[in-house]
Amino acid sequence: VAEVDALLRTVHGLPVSPGPSWLWAARECGDLGWVAREGGRIVGVAMATLVGDAARLHTLTVHPDARGRGVGTALMRARLRGLFEIGARTVLTEVATWNLAAVE
């Protein structure tokens, strides 16, 4: 979790705080997560919430050094496959209008 937290802080410019991050809270609430590794290093993370058979996709982050190589697409596919394997039948996702890569 610490390596994912560091990636999210780096990519999103979040300050280092002395207490647990929202990532810890999400994990404690049962959110699911997927990571992408290159050379043993985590370069991407995707998360989702599953309630009953409905899933909500949130947080798909790829380190700038790993962008443009299909990491985000692989994470999205793995996340969808995993969710459907554990019972999801519907999926909701939100995309910020400024996030052109995700909108495309």
Q: How many CA atoms lie within 13 A of 78 on its CB side?
A: 16
Bridge-based pairing of strands 90-93 and 54-62 is parallel
Which mean pLDDT values do the consecutive 10-residue runs of the chain (104 residues) have? 85 68 83 95 95 94 94 96 97 87 79
In three-state secondary structure terms, 21 is coil
Residue type at 17? S
Whether the full predicted model's pTM is greater than 0.95, yes or no, is: no
Which residues, at least 6 apart from 19, have a Cβ–Cβ distance to it below 8 Å? none
Quote the pLDDT of residue 20.
60
